[in-house]
């Protein structure tokens, strides 16, 4: 067994690491035989030197095996979707019950907000009574009963990832393609999936703003996942504007309810949701091709089966049983809600989507520090898109704020995020590429 410092030295000097050495290092990290300083040095060595495909697979498997690996006995495929994060990315809330309504089982382990992007877990935590951290036994029971469950990472699954990520977050190594790949996939492998679909975002609101770097990440995840035994595909999707017209926590839950019940289905959000869900059904052998899959998915929406699956998930995890009918009563509402109006007439040429996400944080809807509390009431609704035409005084969106001062700041930030002029922007397709 090599000493941790020898493993670090090998990677620092560009020598490939053996599977056994990677396994020893990750076990040491889990058992706290490897210090935080050594873990930081390892992460920095990987950041600069990179990992081969074999090393990425070995690191992913070692992190998976640092905790419990779930096994399922259910009458259907175990499927999941993971997004690299964006603004107004409400897809997980509607996709999990949509796939469940078509015969899949979706045990989705999601995260809190990261940087300027919203977190699925924070959105669900705005539902009164919803348990985002049940034990594994309850998690398994909810998946069996409702067909899906969206919860936070438990201490049993890939604990090495949690420790290494916390170290990466404060050492400037979060952006490592190798470490991102292992972090995402270790949790998905531990969840015992039969298939995974990745939603890799590109654009001003994505972590990987450039299409080429987003494509590199998608290819890395697909290649490593398949090599590790998890059938995986990826879609490269646009994040040059908020995906939904709502950005926040409770407001995005309300948006999801409107989508599932048919009160509002915006075309771009609908297209991305159906494309991702269709890939899941094909991976799970629930449809022969994406066309058949989309037909089944549209039926699940129109018959209300997807909405019913969502309602079962919410109620079984402790939320209100009538959320679909009474979202306005149950979801927290900001005391100040008012329009943000355009200062001039023109066409929306572009949106600084990252700035919109940061404005939500400024309202209290996200975290500047890990220990910060979140105000679930705040955010934006009714956000317009690039290419939309408006007159001076027309609303860009509605701000939901805790007080007038916060609303004033958010109003200024949102106006600054929108570039209004006379040019008509080139339309970006919602689905940029398919990988795998």
Task: Name the residues annotated as catalytic.
Answer: 80-83, 120, 168, 183, 187-188
Separation of alpha carbons 150 and 185, rounded Å: 17
Fill in the DSSP letter of residue 170: T
Contacts of residue 241, defined as CB under 8 A and 6 or more positions apart, other chains included, come to: 203, 204, 205, 351, 353, 385, 386
Instruction: Classify burial at 12, counting beta carbons within 10 Å of its beta carbon; exposed 0-12, middle 13-18, buried 19 or more.
Output: middle
CA atoms within 13 A on the CB side of 187: 24
> 367 with 374: CB under 8 angstroms?
yes
Closest CA to 311 of 296, 301, 324, 298: 324
Closest CA to 384 of 362, 361, 406, 353: 353
Separation of alpha carbons 130 and 419, rounded Å: 38
Q: Where are the beta strands (DSSP E) in 31-144?
A: 79-83, 106-110
Residue 117, helix vs strand vs coil: strand
Residue 164, helix vs strand vs coil: helix
Number of helices followed by number of strands (H, E) in the chain: 17, 13
Give the residue ranges of DSSP H helices in 84-243: 91-100, 120-124, 136-146, 159-169, 177-190, 211-227
Question: Residues 220-240, buried b or exposed e (16+ Cβ, 10 A)?
Answer: bbbbbbeebebbbbbbbbbbb
Separation of alpha carbons 420 and 173, rounded Å: 36
Element (H, E) at 131: none
> 276 with 122: CB under 8 angstroms?
no
């Amino acid at each position: 067994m090599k000493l941790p410092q020898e493993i670090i030295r090998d990677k620092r000097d560009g020598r490939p690491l053996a599977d056994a050495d990677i396994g020893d290092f990750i076990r040491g990290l889990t058992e706290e035989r490897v210090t935080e300083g050594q873990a930081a040095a390892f992460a920095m060595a990987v950041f600069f030197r990179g990992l081969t495909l074999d090393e990425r697979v070995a690191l992913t498997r070692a992190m998976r095996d640092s905790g419990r690996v779930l096994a399922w006995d259910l009458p259907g495929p175990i499927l999941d979707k993971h997004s690299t994060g964006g603004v107004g990315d409400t897809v997980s809330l509607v996709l999990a019950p949509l796939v469940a309504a078509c015969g899949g089982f979706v045990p989705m382990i999601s995260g809190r907000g990261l940087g300027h992007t919203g977190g699925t877990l924070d959105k669900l935590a705005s539902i009164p009574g919803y348990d985002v951290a049940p034990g594994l036994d309850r998690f398994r029971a909810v998946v069996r009963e409702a067909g899906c469950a969206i919860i936070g990472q438990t201490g049993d699954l890939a604990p090495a990832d949690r420790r290494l990520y916390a170290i990466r977050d404060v050492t400037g190594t979060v952006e490592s393609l190798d470490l991102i790949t292992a972090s995402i996939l270790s949790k998905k492998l531990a969840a015992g999936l039969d298939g995974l679909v990745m939603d890799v975002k590109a654009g001003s609101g994505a972590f990987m703003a450039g299409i080429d770097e987003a494509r590199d990440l998608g290819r890395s995840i697909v290649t490593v996942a398949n090599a590790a035994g998890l059938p995986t595909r990826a879609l490269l999707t646009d994040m040059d504007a908020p995906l939904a017209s709502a950005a926040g926590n409770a407001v995005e839950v309300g948006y999801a309810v409107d989508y599932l019940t048919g009160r509002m289905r915006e075309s771009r959000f609908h297209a991305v949701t159906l494309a991702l869900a269709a890939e899941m059904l094909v991976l799970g052998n629930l449809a022969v091709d994406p066309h058949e899959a989309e037909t089944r998915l549209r039926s699940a929406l129109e018959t209300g089966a997807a909405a019913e699956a969502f309602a079962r998930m919410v109620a079984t995890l402790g939320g209100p049983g009538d959320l679909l009918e009474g979202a306005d009563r149950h979801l927290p509402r900001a005391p100040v809600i008012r329009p943000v109006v355009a200062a001039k007439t023109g066409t929306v040429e572009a949106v600084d989507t990252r700035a919109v996400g940061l404005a939500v944080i400024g309202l209290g809807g996200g975290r500047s520090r890990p220990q910060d509390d979140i105000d679930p009431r705040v955010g934006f609704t009714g956000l317009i898109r690039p290419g939309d035409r408006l007159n001076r005084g027309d609303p860009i969106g509605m701000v939901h704020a805790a007080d007038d001062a916060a609303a004033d700041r958010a109003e200024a930030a949102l106006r600054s995020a929108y570039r209004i002029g006379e040019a008509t922007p080139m339309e970006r397709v919602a689905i940029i590429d398919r990988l795998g």
